[in-house]
Amino acid sequence: MREQFFPAFDWHTVFIQPWSEYAVNSFWIVLMGFLVAGTCGLVGCFVILRRMALVGDAISHSILPGITLAFLITNSRDTLPMMLGAVVAGVVTVALIEAIRYTSRIKPDAAIGIVFSSLFAIGVILISVFADEVDLDAECVLYGELGFIPLQDIAYFGEIVIGPEPIVRMAIITLIAIVLLFAFFKEMIVTSFDSGLAASLGINPTRYQYGLTLFLSIVIVSSFESVGVVLVIAMIIFPGATALMLTDRLPIALVLSTVISGAYSLIGFHLATWLNASIAGGMTVIAGIVFGIVWAFAPQRGLIATFVRNRQIMEGSALNFSREEK
């Protein structure tokens, strides 16, 4: 069984071949993985701080009916209508969750669950009913596949070849994310940590909440063709959570999360090549492993550091006690 399940590890096919024979393809795949994980990670830091992690999960599921409807209405698979449908679906999701919360005694967690599962169900039904017209594959929405990125249409800038279209698209989103981050950094920090202070400073916390939600929907929809709806959540939560285990400073955490995302992409790609598995899945497994390592060994917050510190405190207090008794 073991021989069958885990392919034999061959240094050449796993590390040499991707960077010699298929170097271009590998480059695009790793770059796309990095762009996706990096952008998701930047947004994710704020998502985690605002305890919106599961709202992200909800949005990633409920964009399915959004893009399906956008497709049925415009009958095209262009980026713009898809993006629009997804963003509308994201906003509707958040609005519905808030509506249930404010009109009833249902707690936010249950509201999230009800809204996203219902919307997802509507999406699957739409796809099934209009199966002949909709060229959407629900399985593909769930998985996504980074491996197909190099096969996509190449974008040209005039005569100059830039790269596969999805990568160009994702790069633009990444750029927008970075610009927005620099433009609204202070406001995002204040509204994330102390909405009362933000309000007293004249910054409307709700507006930034909705802004973040909107941008989150955009990032999710542009990412999930390569990683799928569920793993997009991994890319949103893992880099930020791992970085926040290592530092208390948000700017450092943002930089760290980007570096970590790069590691996911590079190592995950090689893992997937070795195991002949989904690349997004490989990236997520690496993300989990990296988090596990950081969880154990982080200098301040890690399991080992905490354990040692607790023991020192215990010993210290024991010492004090014995001294007092004497």
Partner 1 sequence: MRELLPHAVSNGSKQRLAFSIFGILTASTIAHAAQIGKISETSWTEQALDFLSLEEPVVRTAVLGTLIIGFCCGVLGSFLVVRKLSLLGDTLSHAVLPGVALGFLWNASKDPWAIFIGATAAGILGVALVGWIKQTTHLKEDSAMGMVLAGFYGLGICMTTMIQNMAMGNKSGLDKFFFGQAAALSSGDIQLLGIISLITVVLVLIFYKEFIAISFDTGFAQAIGMPVQVLHYALMALLTFAVVVSLQAVGVVLVSALLITPAAAAFLLTDRMHWMLILAAGFGMLSGVLGAFISYLSNNLPTGPLIVLGATLIFVLALFFGPRHGFLTKTLRRKRQRQRIALENTLKSIFYLCENSDFERREFVVAELAVERNSNLPATEREILNLVEADMAEWIVDSNTPSMSGQARFRLSKEGWYRACEIVRNHRLWELYLTSAASYESDHVHDDAEEIEHLIGEGIVKRLEDRLQNPIHDPHGRLIPRRDQVIA
Residues 166 to 225 in contact with partner 1, rule: CB under 8 A: 225
Q: Compute φ and ψ for 197, nearest 5 degrees.
A: -60, -40
- For the segment 278-297, give every residue that binds partner 1 (CB under 8 A): 278, 280-285, 287-288, 291, 295
How far apart (Å, rounded) are the C-alpha atoms in residues 42 and 44? 5
Is residue 74 at the binding interface for partner 1, with CB under 8 A as the rule? no
Decide: residue 204, CB within 10 A, 0-12 exposed, 13-18 middle, 19+ buried. middle
User: How far is it, in rounded angstroms, from Cα 182 to Cα 90?
Assistant: 24
302 is written with which tokens?
A: 């890690």
Candidates 1, 8, 160, 161: give the one binding partner 1 (CB under 8 A). Answer: 1
Contact between 97 and partner 1 (CB under 8 A)? no
Q: Which of 20, 75, 104, 310 binds partner 1 (CB under 8 A)?
A: 104
Stretch that binds partner 1, among 103-111, 177-185, 194-202, 249-257 (CB under 8 A): 103-111
Query: Residues 253 to 272: which contact partner 1 by CB under 8 A?
Result: 272
If binding is defined by CB under 8 A, does position 34 make contact with partner 1?
A: no
- How many CB atoms neighbour CB 98 within 10 A? 16
Helix H or strand E segment including 253: helix 250-275
Q: Does residue 40 bind partner 1 (CB under 8 A)? A: no
Closer Cβ to partner 1, 16 or 110, answer by number: 110
Give yes or no for a contact between 218 and 83, defined as CB atoms under 8 angstroms apart: yes
Told to check if 63 binds partner 1 by CB under 8 A, we report: no
Told to check if 101 binds partner 1 by CB under 8 A, we report: no
Stretch that binds partner 1, among 12-20, 140-148, 190-198, 209-217 (CB under 8 A): 140-148
**Residues whose CB falls within 8 Å of the CB of residue 288, separated by 6 or more in sequence, listed in order:** 234, 238
